[in-house]
Structure formats: structure tokens, C-alpha cells
């Protein structure tokens, strides 16, 4: 299926590895020009080179810490200079850390607020005028299944990702008249470095071998396995494409059927 992304201008935040990387790769496969971001210059450049070589599309690395307002400002100055317009924004960020509620410091909460919520607020606020000027746009927010069913060990993620979901749902109604479609995708147990770290922590906490813990978790997933970043991207990018013309304000969980909530 042609996703009508050829020559579109796309920005994918937090895309040097994991889910973000695979989303960027999928847009590049579809013929879009893509700006990718990450905090580590060497990793980011390597990712850009690999995706560009593999797909033949323009892939531009731009070092960005999405939790910092000044970095978002620098990034969008570059987007305006290099692209002039923006067809697609994928708002993504690494997950906030695991904390214990009783012993957590307020700094943990403020940091998660900046990383998870304000990174999206700032990026979307910058992107919308470019899309209005363009006459259309697609915004995709990468959340978590925790927006439907809280994950006990991910308190900060549960709280702030739900806030961004509410933001996107609200803005989807406001900007539908401008042909800007805004949707949310929630990954379940997708086999990324973050999931591996969470599994390792939980295995240690429950004093079981890592493989036994992972097998136990996968038994709770109806499909019976973890998802891959590649298959997550395949589903997500449709919503953030120009083949999607009538879906906005929706949340799609890509979780192998794990979440029981409607």
C-alpha cells in the first residue's frame, strides 16, 4: 500500500534507536525526507547513515535533548531552514525512570514532566503553524499501553503519558478543520532496550532468572510473544501517513492483545 509519503517532510523525535528508529526507517522506506533526533551525536549519525543507505532517502541527524526547551527551539529553527514546511511530526521520548513513590524526590517528577509532557507540548506547538501554512499535517504521539491500563512499576509514565494523550485528543478536535490529524499509538511489550532493562529489574526483584521472568510475562500476552519495533512501526506509520484521511483523535494500542481494557 502506498502511504502517500513520497517527498513528505518528516520529523521523528528520539529516533536514534528502538521504536523511534524503526518509525523513522519506515518513513524513509516510503520515500519521505526525515530528520531524526537523539542526544548522542555518534549514535545518531550512525543511525542516519544506516537508514539513508538502506532506503535511499534523505535522513538528517540533529542532536536534541527533547526535555530541554532550548533544544526544541534549535531543532525547529533547523526544520524551518531546511524543510520550510513540516508534513509529519512524530512526538516520541524515552520513558521516565522507575521510581518508588514514597522515596521519590520532587526532582524526579519535574524531570519526567519536562521529558514526557512538555517535550510534546513544545514540539506540537512549533509544528502546528508549519502544518497550517502547508494546508495539512499529521501528528503521531508514541505513548504506552499505560494510558489505558496503568503499569505498576512505571508510575511517572502512567501519569505524564496520560497527560499527553489528553492533549492530543483535545487538539485533534481543534485542528481537524485545518486537515491536521492527530493520533496516539501505545506500544505494549515491544522488544527494545528499555523493555530489557525493565525485565532485568523485575527478574532481580522477584529473584528469578531473567529468561523465566520473560517467559512468565509473554504468557500474559494473547499472541504469546513480545512485539518487534519493526511491526510496531508498520502499524503506527499508517496513522501518521497521508493514506489516513479520516482518523483523528484516536488511540491505537499495539500490544498483542495484552491490555484488557476497552
Give a yes or no: residue 33 inside a domain.
yes
**Model pLDDT for residues 244-260, shown as the tens digit of each residue:** 999 999 999 999 999 99
- Name the domain count of the chain: 1
Give a yes or no: residue 195 inside a domain.
no
Give the domain extent around 140: 9-189+230-254
Task: Output the domain CATH number for residue 33.
Answer: 3.40.50.720
Average pLDDT, rounded, for the chain? 95
Give a yes or no: residue 52 inside a domain.
yes
Give a yes or no: residue 201 inside a domain.
no
How much of the chain exceeds pLDDT 90, in percent? 90
Give a yes or no: residue 119 inside a domain.
yes
Q: How many CA atoms lie within 13 A of 18 on its CB side?
A: 23
Measured CA distances, 41 to 37, 45, 90, 122, 147 (Å) = 9, 6, 20, 22, 31
> What pLDDT is attached to residue 205?
86
Q: How far is CA 38 from its chain centroid?
A: 12
* CA gap 200, 211 in Å, rounded: 9
> What pLDDT is attached to residue 193?
85
Buried b (16+ CB within 10 A) or exposed e, 74-107: ebbeebeeebeebbbbbbbbbbbebbeeeeeeee
How much of the chain exceeds pLDDT 70, in percent? 100
Give a yes or no: residue 30 inside a domain.
yes
Give a yes or no: residue 222 inside a domain.
no
* Residue 26 or residue 205, greater confidence: 26
pTM, to two decimals: 0.95
**Model pLDDT for residues 107-165, shown as the tens digit of each residue:** 999 999 999 999 999 999 999 999 999 999 999 999 999 999 998 889 999 999 999 99
H or E element, residue 52 = helix 41-55
Give a yes or no: residue 194 inside a domain.
no
Q: Inform me whether the pLDDT recorded for 195 exceeds 90.
A: no
Amino acid at each position: 500500500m502506498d502511504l502517500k509519503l513520497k517527498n513528505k517532510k518528516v520529523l521523528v523525535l528520539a529516533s536514534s534507536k528502538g521504536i523511534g528508529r524503526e518509525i523513522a526507517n519506515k518513513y524513509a522506506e516510503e520515500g519521505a525526507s526525515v530528520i531524526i533526533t537523539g542526544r548522542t551525536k555518534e549514535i545518531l549519525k550512525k543511525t542516519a547513515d544506516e537508514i539513508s543507505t538502506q532506503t535511499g532517502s534523505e535522513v538528517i541527524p540533529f542532536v536534541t535533548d527533547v526535555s530541554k526547551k532550548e533544544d526544541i527551539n534549535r531543532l525547529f529553527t533547523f526544520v524551518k531552514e531546511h524543510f520550510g514546511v513540516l508534513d509529519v511530526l512524530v512526538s516520541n521520548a524515552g520513558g521516565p525512570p522507575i521510581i518508588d513513590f514514597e522515596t521519590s524526590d520532587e526532582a524526579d517528577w519535574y524531570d519526567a514532566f519536562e521529558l514526557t509532557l512538555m517535550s510534546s507540548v513544545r514540539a506540537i506547538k512549533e509544528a502546528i503553524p508549519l502544518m497550517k501554512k502547508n494546508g495539512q499535517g499529521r501528528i503521531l504521539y508514541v505513548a504506552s499501553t499505560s494510558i489505558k491500563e496503568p503499569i505498576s512499576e512505571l508510575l511517572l509514565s502512567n501519569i505524564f503519558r496520560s497527560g499527553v494523550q489528553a492533549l492530543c485528543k483535545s487538539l485533534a478536535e481543534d485542528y481537524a478543520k485545518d486537515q491536521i490529524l492527530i493520533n496516539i499509538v501505545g506500544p505494549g511489550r515491544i522488544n527494545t532496550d528499555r523493555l530489557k532493562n525493565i525485565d532485568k529489574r523485575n527478574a532481580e526483584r522477584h529473584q528469578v532468572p531473567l529468561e523465566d521472568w520473560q517467559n512468565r510475562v509473554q504468557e500474559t500476552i494473547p499472541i504469546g510473544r513480545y512485539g518487534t519495533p519493526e511491526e510496531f512501526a508498520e502499524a503506527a506509520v499508517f496513522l501518521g501517513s497521508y493514506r489516513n484521511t479520516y482518523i483523528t483523535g484516536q488511540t491505537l494500542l499495539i500490544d498483542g492483545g495484552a491490555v484488557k481494557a476497552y
